[in-house]
Every structure is written in structure tokens, then in C-alpha cells.
Amino acid sequence: MYRSHNCGELRASHTNTEITLAGWVQGVRDKGFMVYVDLRDRYGITQLYFDEEQTDKKVLETAQKLGREFVIQVKGKVQERASKNPNIPTGDIEVLVSDLTILNKAKLPPFTIEDKTDGGEDIRMKYRYLDIRRNPVKNSLIFRHKVTQEVRNYLSNASFIEVETPYLIKSTPEGARDFVVPSRMNEGQFYALPQSPQTFKQLLMVGGMDKYFQIVKCFRDEDLRADRQPEFTQIDCEMAFIEQEDILNTFEGLTRHLLKEINGVEVDKFPRMLYDDAMRLYGNDKPDIRFGMQFGELNQVAQHKDFGVFNNAELVVGIAVPGGNSYTRKEIDKLISWVKRPQVGALGMVYCRYNDDGSFKSSVDKFYDQDDLAKWAEVTGAKPGDLICVLSGDTNKVRAQLSALRMELAERLGLRKPNEFAPLWVIDFPLLEWDEDTERYHAMHHPFTSPKPGQIELLKTDPGAVKANAYDLVLNGNEIGGGSIRIHDKETQALMFDYLGFTEDEAKAQFGFLMDAFQYGAPPHGGLAFGLDRLVAILGGQETIRDYIAFPKNNAGRDVMIDAPAPIDDEQLTELSLKLNLKS
């Protein structure tokens, strides 16, 4: 065998034990008459000791030639270290080596394989297999494994059945572009990679599976950012014979279980917030409620003077920044520049200082007196020592802009503490949203989401007012899961397709199999899907997901390690009946 023990398990109790270890050379310290080698594997580091008085001469000479990341095997005896290292679990011992075998030499790595490395992100992505040897990445992957195991244990104990669904399916409209796969055996036809297993899990409910889950890859061809990847993993779940309350209780339980088992945190409350209230108070549908700074809508107290910027705005809205009156004018100017960046898009920002003596000083004192500004403070909940930041414009745009500012300020103020967890259910989303480009309604979630009970008739008169029987689970300002109660009868589903602009033939071509299935006794059902990558990152105290994915892609959707995507040769194109029409 290559090893009797791993590099993280030897302790003082193993002293005088003959052992065999194997791993990578972390570092070599050659003193001439003695050599120290740090040997590393997944479990830790063990110090190896070579001494000219106790070690065979050839073994010592071989040790002196070792380089970083050489793969070696050693045999020797565990002994107590003269100079102990309290920073590592094996720091009380070392191994006096009697036999050394080089299993594989290694080139000098392009960056140091240490917790704090000198390698930038691009080079570490290119050599990801080396980056995984570093503790931060290694521990993130181990952490992901622990979360995944807890999910499987919890759901299995709750009588859920894990069922695999196909990866090669047909294209379905779910809000993003599909990745498509040409079929060699069916000339001119294509599979699509699933954006989610939505229709299959509904068919499993028709099939009587009752409680289903799957930890599954999903694929969306969309623009990327730090918390998105073209392929990602969902904890996909569905239940039959349930109502919304059953879903919420079940997955509150799962989330509570993960927080306790993974983070040692007890969370009792999972507050619920209407979508409309989330947008009004926080400007987005996934508010971080670990801190305040709720929006105060100022139209009634700010549009009565001769300030055209406010008078011409659809919405005037502000937040009170705790302790913000301490900001210098230069710091406030930087905030104004921040909101005017293209990524945020505000035209400017009005501010008002709430002084400790109860007086106010604003950037629009020309138009507003002390009584006016006191009303601003009342509406935004400002206190002496705070700063009131006000934006104005079109309702949807200004809410998004102020939401971005709120999150930026919270980050600067240290209010987004990674070891604090604040879950929240956001419920009663709109069923449909209007698309200006296509000039028609689209499903906010997907076409299979059920309207709230009693609202189906509203589709005929006021479709934008219909609420969906849908819900999102938010944790620390991130959507970690979302789902809905599904439509389970053919007539309602056909009506929904009609309102979404599908012709009868289009609906039959894309979803005829599902409509047919509904004719054979589909039970009431609903479900939820967690984004596993994001969930793991948040539980791990991070907001970006890359370090929790073994081989992630960059912001251009490329795997720079294997250089994918890549062209295919002409022979393959011919075999697949494809012809490229590339833009010059």
C-alpha cells in the first residue's frame, strides 16, 4: 500500500510507530546536514526529517533534490519534534525517514500553492487542478460535500425519493436561451440541455411519486456575473397533494436543519413578505433583512415645492443611513458619483444631514425648509446623526438604484455580517410581467405556475394584477430557492398558454406530452428548487460561488483550463448536417 496513514492524522500517541506516508512536497528546508520536508495531502501536513547521522546517505541526497509538488512516498518512524508547531494538528511530531521514493517529479508550479497565493484568478483558473490543492479551495469543496450530504439525509428521512431525469430534452421557454445539442441520428433536429427539470418533475407527480428530489445540473445560456455560471446545480424538489403552506413548512425545515448542522446556528423565524412590500420597502424581491434602511416614499412630502427634479418624478424615495451625518462632503460626493455609474444609472442624489441638535442641512435647502426636512426624516425613520439619501425618477428604475445604494452602504458600514443569517419568504409574486420589446405578457416564473386561488378570472380583465401561487426563499439578500404551486388541469394550462401568446398548435408542439398527461389524473402539486451553488456559498460565508465549484467557467462562459468551448472539425460538422455562418 502507498500509505498506512494520511498526512493529517499522526499525533504524539503514534511516537515510535513505523508508518508509510504519500503526498506532495509542500516545501523543503535544506540545512546541509539535515533536511526538513513538509509533506501534504488532502488531510493535512506532516513534517519529514532526514539526518546525516540517522538517514541513509542516498536517501538524504535524494531528499536534497526534492522540488515543490514532487509526489513522494516515505517510510519511517514517528518521533517527537524538538520544536513543536502549535498551528497544525500534527505539530507535535515528525517522521524520521528511512526510505524515500519519488513517485513523480513536478515542474515548478506557476503560483505558490499556499493559503495566500501569489497567483491571480486567471492563472489559477487555467491551472485549477493545482488551485484545488490549496486549503481555501479544497475546504470549500469539502464543505459543499457536507451540505449536499445533509440535504440528501434530510430529504430522504422525509420520504423524498431521488429520481434522475434526462439531460437531452426539447427546448422550453424558461426565460433564458437554451444550450442546444445537434442530433446525428435525427438530421436537422436538436436536443436542448434543461434549464430545469420542470416538466419531468411534474410528470413524476402524475406518475404517483408523491415526493421527489434530485441534485441536478441545469444549463442556461445567459450573461454571467460572479454568482452565475452557465451550468449550475439545483436541489430540485416536488410534492403532490399539498398546498403552499406545506411547501413552505417543509423547506423551512430543510433550511433550519442546514443552518444548525453546518453552521451551528438556530433560526426560529422565517418571516413572510409580500412581493409588493419587498419592492416598496427594499426595491428588490430578495431583500437583506439583517439590517434596516427601509425605503421611505417621499412624494407627498417632497413634491409640493418648486423643485422640478422631484415634481417631475414618478417616485421620490429615500433611506436613512445610520451614523451617516459623520460623512464628509468629499465622502458624500463619492456616493453621488457611485450612484451615477452606468451600473447603477442614477442621474444624481439629494442628501439631507440630520444634525445631533435636531436641525437639518440638505443639498436642496433653497427649496425646502426645516419643517419639510423633518417630514423626510419621519418618513424614512431617520434619527439625529443620520444621513438621508434621496433618489427620484421612474418607479422601477429608482427602486433598483436605491436598492443598489442600500446594499453598498450596508457593505461599507459592516452590516452584512456573514455569520448572521436572516431567512425570508417572499410570496405572492405577479403571475405575468409585461415585456416592452415583444409587447405581450410573459410568465414571471414559468408557464406552469398556478394563479392564486380565485384570481383566474382576472386574467380576462386585468392580467397584470393576477398574483402567482409562487414563493422565493431569501437568505441574507440572496435568493436561494424558489418555486410555486403548479397548474394541474389541462383546461387551466391551456388558458395560461393562450394568455402567454401561444397558439394551440405551438402549445401542443412544445407541451403536448404534459397536456396529455394531465388527462390521466394529475394530482395537485407544487415544488421548489434551491440553487445549491449559491446556498453553499452563503452557508460558507461568501457571496460568490466559484470556489465552491470544482471546475468553474469565467465571466465569458469559458473553461480556460481545457479551452472550451472550441471549434469542431469539418468532418464532425458534416456528420451533424451543420454549416457555420460566422460573422466576420
The amino acid present at 185, given as its one-letter code, is M
Handedness of CA 359, 361, 366, 372 (dihedral sign): negative
**11 labeled binding residue:** no
**455 labeled binding residue:** no
**80 labeled binding residue:** no
List C-alpha distances in Å: 48 to 38, 85, 112.
6, 13, 20
**386 labeled binding residue:** no
The Cα–Cα gap between 73 and 7 comes to 11
List C-alpha distances in Å: 42 to 8, 39, 218.
8, 11, 29
**220 labeled binding residue:** yes
The Cα–Cα gap between 303 and 310 comes to 6
Find out whether the peptide bond into 565 is cis, omega within 30 degrees of 0. Answer: yes
**At what angle are helices 490-499 and 504-518 packed, to 10 degrees?**
160
What are 423's strand-pairing partners?
475
The Cα–Cα gap between 350 and 338 comes to 13
The Cα–Cα gap between 463 and 456 comes to 9
**315 labeled binding residue:** no
Q: Where does residue 326 rank: exposed (0-12), middle (13-18), buried (19+ CB within 10 A)?
A: exposed
**229 labeled binding residue:** yes
**288 labeled binding residue:** no
Backbone angles phi, psi at 249, to 5 degrees: -65, -40
- Beta strands per DSSP E along 193-275: 211-219, 231-240, 272-274
What are 162's strand-pairing partners?
213
**174 labeled binding residue:** yes
**222 labeled binding residue:** yes
Cell 514517528 identifies what position? Answer: 78
Taking a C-beta distance cutoff of 8 angstroms, is the pair 80, 15 a contact?
yes
Instruction: Kindly compute the dihedral angle of the four CA atoms of residues 429, 432, 436, 438, in this order, to the nearest 10 degrees.
Output: 150
Backbone angles phi, psi at 348, to 5 degrees: 170, -175
The Cα–Cα gap between 175 and 435 comes to 12
Q: For the range 137-142, what are the long-range contacts, defined as Cβ-Cβ under 8 Å and sequence gap of 24 or more?
A: 137/547, 138/42, 140/540, 140/547, 140/548, 141/548, 141/550
- Residue positions forming the annotated binding site: 174, 220-222, 229, 445, 479, 486, 531-534
- Residue positions forming the annotated binding site for L-aspartate: 174, 220, 445, 486
- Residue positions forming the annotated binding site for ATP: 220-222, 229, 479, 531-534
